A and B are shown apart, each in its own frame.
Chain A
Amino acid sequence: MPSALEIRLCGGLLALNRLSMTLQNKRMPVEGLTLARNGAEVRVTVVLDCEGETARRYAALLSGLEDVSEAGVVADLEEVALVRADGRCEAVSGSPEYVERWLAENEVEDAVRLGPVARPGKGAC
């Protein structure tokens, strides 16, 4: 069962470097990583191929980093896909499963998927 973490960063590029280095250095089983932001704060959602207890331990490890303001396991994920179909660009959003289904069922020329990201205002953060 994959788990997801949301990590909020308060530093700049070095903070992001340190985060991705730590994910790699501690051999966290990263399946997906999405960057987003709210104002100056960078929000990173990481999907890990591990159960909840291990994910919580990783969250504890990441929250120990100085430029991580918060890190926690999140249950609710949201995905947005920007799709191009019939020459038009539109956004599809919903749970990752919903977006997956939608993309399989609809004919699209190209798609950019933004997510999964932690749904705002929920989860452990």
Chain B
Amino acid sequence: MENTAFGIEYRPRTGSEAMCEALLDEGVEFLFGYPGGAIMPFYDALVDYPLKHVLVRHEQAAAHAADGYARATGKVGVCVATSGPGATNLVTGLATAYMDSVPLVAITGQVGRAAMGKDAFQETNVTGMTLPVTKHSFLVEEPEELYPTMRRAFAIARSGRPGPVLVDVPKDVQFAAVSGNGYRQLREAPPPIPAPALEAAARLIERARRPIILAGHGVTLSGAELELRMLAERCGIPVSTTLLGISCFPDDHPLNIGMPGMHGAASVNRAIDRSDLLIAVGMRFDDRITGNPEKFAPNAKVIHIDVDPSEMGKVVRPTVGIVADAKLALGGVLNHLRKSPECGAWREELAVDQAPERRKEAEARGRFGPVRIMEAIREATGGEVRLVTDVGQHQMWAARHFRYTRPNSHITSGGLGTMGFALPAAMGVALACPEESVWVVAGDGGIQMNIQELATIRDLGLNIKVAVINNGYLGMVRQWQQFFHNRRYSETPITGPDYETLAAAYGLTGRTVREGDDVERVVRWAEEREGFTILDFHIDPEQNVYPMIPSGMSVAEMIEEDDA
């Protein structure tokens, strides 16, 4: 058709263009992806839109990078892959985001509609395959549905309890002509919180003598850091942050007692055991926290605040359940509080129990090892850093011994525990926060799982610093073998490259750091230099994470360093 007014050729929009427009209308800045046959029309359209695409080196990394971006910004992360192997490579990343309630939209190409169901080249039923690890998924078979479906995918990803949404688009649908968009809104606004629940929660808090707040990822997701702090400070209630809750309440706050659970501080686990009231905010009583739920917090009443109604009573039966966004719920509880509980004696009791742990930690800071490395990163960055961690012993050391003082400064794969998460996730974080310092703490096992992303990092010139905590083992598994399998170290010793040489091969910089080297100096050097730097810290191979509550057990079976 000819547009006579301007003398330019006018052609109808294609499905791919409608997809790009939906992305722009959602305020998307970055896409992380990898092209292939079935997604080529989309990649062709992309060129004409002001959307920045990051070409990763493996689709798993695209999902983790989008995840890191989403966690750092609170916005929806976007990843893109082709059909078949591209789509299957996304699955680990989707599962990681699903377990940690991270909003993602994953776009996958699919074979053309006529070829579907015929075992076509690179055809996989990705909607079927990802059913258990997505909040929702769409197979878009009608071109006119593309734009509204994309918009809806974003709305679903960020509404209520966030999560990943997959949009699978057959190739011919991407090519097809589309006209209007007809965006439909999501169905309902969140219901108001019933006043009696807030009232009941406030009364429980007022009467408590040994209360503890357990703060989880929901606090960060809803931006409830201030309300959490107001509740804690107004009532003098100690706060324990879960693995994903870390950094939602400052570690240097006198009321912060540390992380609970399998590798949490012994004093925190004992405190939960003696507590008479747990105020659980945006956390889901993961088995890594409760151990045996029958024996968990046996003396405590429970206030459970969570936006997902199906979390109520899933593991721990709440005395009062409040199904709401953490920010609204905490604000509501604060409004209903008439007085503060008397828990001064409780705080003193906890302080006495914590004192030896604090002494031990201070001692460990003086020795070459993970605690000292964490402290050096903290010193060099002044705490102004986003720390992205992988999975294993180093993850627990970073969780326990780094002092986080900025909201949302700790990013890790909690629920799925995905090795290989940290490096690509840090790419998303670094792109989201270009002015901020971004450090990765990874093990010598996990860093090798997405090491190919060094090429992406080099291309983008990302200023990420990596500390490899190199113990020559799949350390966490080795530790379990030591405790529960008679030290039979089956397939846990692991080798890796020389990271200095490897970095150089990618045009990047690395250093090896051994006992006797000046840890503080090398960390400061890395922090101060412009550009990616990898530090390979060779630590004691058999250092363990203490304490440890064996899986499914209770605080009574906790293994502490002195009795190991």
**Which A residues have a C-beta under 8 Å from some C-beta of B?**
14, 17-18, 21-22, 25, 53-54, 57-58, 60-61, 63-67
Contacts and interface: CB of A to CB of B under 8 A. Distances in A.
B136 A64 contact: no
B310 A60 contact: yes
Interface of B: 127-128, 131-132, 135-137, 139, 156, 160-161, 308-310, 312-314
B310 A61 contact: yes
Secondary structure class of chain A's binding surface, majority of residues: helix
A14 B137 contact: yes
A59 B135 CA distance: 16
A18 B93 CA distance: 20
A21 B132 contact: yes
Given A57-B313, A60-B309, A66 B136 contact: yes
20 contacts: A14-B127, A14-B128, A18-B131, A18-B136, A21-B132, A25-B132, A53-B313, A57-B309, A57-B310, A57-B314, A60-B310, A61-B310, A63-B309, A64-B160, A64-B161, A64-B308, A65-B136, A66-B136, A66-B156, A67-B136
Q: Which of A53, A64, A66 has the most CB of B within 10 A?
A: A66
B163 to A, nearest CB: 10
Contact of A14 (B139, B160, B308): B139
Contacts of B160: 64
Contacts of B132: 21-22, 25
Contacts of A21: 131-132
Q: Which of A18, A22, A54, A67 has the most CB of B within 10 A?
A: A18
Given A14-B137, A14-B139, A57-B314, A64 B128 contact: no
Contacts of A65: 136
A67 B312 CA distance: 22
A74 B313 CA distance: 20
A102 B358 CA distance: 73
A18 B166 CA distance: 13
B131 A17 contact: yes
Nearest to B323: A60
A64 B132 CA distance: 14
Nearest to B317: A53
Nearest to A60: B309
A41 to B, nearest CB: 15
Contacts of A61: 309-310
Given A14-B137, A66-B136, A60 B131 contact: no
Contacts of B308: 64
Contacts of A57: 309-310, 312-314
A19 B309 CA distance: 17
Contacts of B156: 66
Given A54-B313, A60-B310, 11 more contacts: A14-B137, A18-B131, A18-B136, A21-B131, A53-B313, A60-B312, A61-B310, A64-B160, A64-B310, A66-B135, A66-B136
A17 B130 CA distance: 11
B540 to A, nearest CB: 41
A64 B309 contact: yes
A82 B90 CA distance: 48
A25 B161 CA distance: 18
Given A64-B160, A66-B136, A17 B128 contact: yes
Contacts of A60: 309-310, 312
A65 B134 CA distance: 10
A21 B309 CA distance: 19
A14 B139 CA distance: 9
Contacts of A17: 128, 131
B157 to A, nearest CB: 11
A18 B130 CA distance: 10
Leading 10 A-B pairs by shortest Cβ distance: A61-B310, A60-B309, A66-B136, A21-B131, A25-B132, A60-B310, A18-B131, A57-B313, A21-B132, A66-B156
Nearest to A53: B313
